[in-house]
Amino acid sequence: MALDEALLDRSIRGENGSVLLRVYRWARPTLSIGVNQALDAEVAERCERRGVEVVRRITGGAAVYHKQDVTYCVVAPRAQMGVLEAYRWVAGGLIAGFSALGLDATIGQHPRDQAGHIRGNGRTRLSACFATTLGADLEVNGLKVCGSAQVRRKGWFLQHGSIPIADVRSETRELLEHPEEDHSSTCLERLRPGTSWEQVAESLVAGFTQFWGQPSTLSGVDSYLSDPPARDELA
Amino acid sequence: MSIVPLDLRYTREHEWARLEDDGRITVGVTDYAQEQLGDVVFLDLPDIDEMVEGGEPLGEVESTKSVSDIYAPVTGRVVEINTECKDNPAAVNQDPYGEGWLLVIEPSDPTEYEGLLMAEEYEEFLEEEGAEGEES
């Protein structure tokens, strides 16, 4: 994720003018927390005991447990897009990617007051991303299958997202010690048994390329699949 | 439809600015911005006495959908922060031009304010962005 921020900075500096898509997985199970989320000492200790890395994203939103998931990062010029338009624009590529896997994904239509963010102690509460659905998320059969978060800086935006392959809801709940069970999300293992990381990654790249290949005010797709990235630092 | 009060000035980054009687400038984010952001959950604002530069980021607003920079409409010194809004960021959504104000700047150059967008110009800018503004 440090590389993602570097890509955004590079674009802001004018060293890249095109849309970037990065698809990756994690070398070790990792909890990524939102830029303003508080990291409880108990959660940090629990993660350390279990060998789970913790990183802080530059994007907002809630905690995501990356274990057998497909993580994506899109860096693109804001152009004329507001926050919602940018989400919808990225969702077009994602939906095309899901379609390549034979899955009919739609944009979540949940009302904004269902957000799981409650503020406390100068930061936002450490809630789990997949336990809540916002209008920026994707669903299959009414269950959240892709959570996303955005940061907007100087004419550009960066969007992170995670698509779980394996069901890590129980582990996430244990890590964050959440009392509520997550009944609102699902994973590819349930929707499409046997789906591999490579299949998802290739479908996403194909979907994004197909979607962005249509006439658009934004031109050019610079995409690549990467190996597991280097260890991220907890900023 | 977003509300665009006639007595304020605006930036293309969707901040509003109000020139007070004492020459200081109150700053917030516009109704359009709060609609786009969704529920605001966190505000990162500068400290009192910090110098900010017009057009440069002075802090961040995090919503359930996005983290976005807040840009200084003018160059100057921060003289007041809305601590109540920091504690209750939902005020930005509920009352962006009232209780949801963010900070007050003492401008280094009083004429800089005049260079900000008028309400009509901001509305035109919103139309270019595909949104509509409603003067009030």
A171-228 confidence digits (pLDDT tens): 999 999 876 777 889 999 999 999 999 999 999 988 988 887 643 333 333 443 343 3
For chain A, the average pLDDT equals 81
CB within 8 Å: A83 and B89: no
Tokens 């959570």, residue?
A: A147
Mean pLDDT for chain B overall: 93
Sequence-distant (6+) residues with CB within 8 A of A48 are none
Residue-level pLDDT at B36: 87
Q: What is the number of other CB atoms lying within 10 angstroms of the CB of residue B112?
A: 18
Q: How many CB pairs under 8 A join A and B?
A: 83
Out of A82, A118, A151, name the one closest to residue B36 (CB): A82
Residue B1: predicted pLDDT: 77
Question: Which chain A residues are Cβ-neighbours of B38 within 8 angstroms?
Answer: 83, 112, 115, 134-135
Q: Residue A179: exposed, middle, or buried by beta-carbon count in 10 A (0-12, 13-18, 19+)?
A: exposed
pLDDT band, very low/low/confident/very high, at A19 (cuts 50, 70, 90): confident
pLDDT in tens, B38-56: 889 999 999 999 999 999 9
Which phi and psi (to 5°) does residue A233 adopt? -100, 150
**Integer angstrom CA distances of residue A159 from A1, A78, B26:** 11, 11, 31
Is A47 catalytic? The answer is no
Is the dihedral angle over the CA atoms A12, A14, A15, A21 positive or is it negative?
positive
pLDDT of residue A221: 37
Measure A194 CA to nearest chain B CA, in Å: 32
CB contact under 8 A, A152 and B42: no
Contacts of A210 (CB under 8 A, 6+ apart): A93, A96
CA separation for the pair A93, A151 (Å, rounded): 18
Q: Nearest CB to A80: which of B65, B69, B128? A: B128
**What is the predicted pLDDT for the residue at A111?**
52
Q: Do B89 and A119 touch (CB under 8 A)?
A: yes
User: Predicted confidence band at A120 (pLDDT cuts at 50, 70, 90)?
Assistant: very low
Across the interface, whether the CB atoms of B67 and A60 are under 8 A apart is answered yes
| Tokens read off for A152 | 């907007």
pTM comes to 0.82
What is the pLDDT at residue B122?
96
Nearest-CA distance B87 → chain A (Å): 8
Catalytic residue among A47, A129, A146, A187: A129
ipTM, interface predicted TM-score of the complex: 0.77
Q: What is the pLDDT of residue A226?
A: 40
CB contact under 8 A, B38 and A34: no
Per the DSSP assignment, residues forming a β-bridge with B26 are: B18, B104
pLDDT at A20 over 50: yes
pLDDT tens digits, one per residue of B19-41: 999 999 999 999 999 998 888 99
> Which alpha helices (H) appear in B2-55, and where do they start and end?
31-37
| Better-scored residue on pLDDT, A130 or A31 | A31
Residues of A in contact with B131 (CB under 8 A): 82
Mutation pick from B44, B65, B88 vs chain A, by most beta carbons of A within 10 Å, is: B65
Q: Which of A135-139, B41-45, B59-63, B90-94 has the lowest mean pLDDT?
A: A135-139
pLDDT band with cut points at 50, 70 and 90 for residue A62: confident
The string of pLDDT tens digits covering residues B80-104 is: 999 999 999 999 999 999 999 999 9
Identify each DSSP E strand in chain B by its residue range. 2-4, 9-10, 15-19, 25-29, 40-44, 51-52, 57-63, 66-71, 76-81, 103-107, 133-135
SS3 A193: coil
Q: Do B69 and A152 touch (CB under 8 A)?
A: yes
Most A CBs within 10 A among B2, B41, B85, hence the mutation to make, goes to B41
Q: Is residue A134 predicted with pLDDT exceeding 60?
A: no
Does position A124 have pLDDT exceeding 90, yes or no? no
User: 3-class DSSP state for residue A34?
Assistant: coil
Which residues in chain B are contacts of A80 at CB distance < 8 A? 128-130
Across A156-183, average pLDDT: 89
Top mean pLDDT of A141-145, B6-10, B129-133 is at B6-10
Q: How many CB atoms lie within 10 A of CB B67?
A: 26
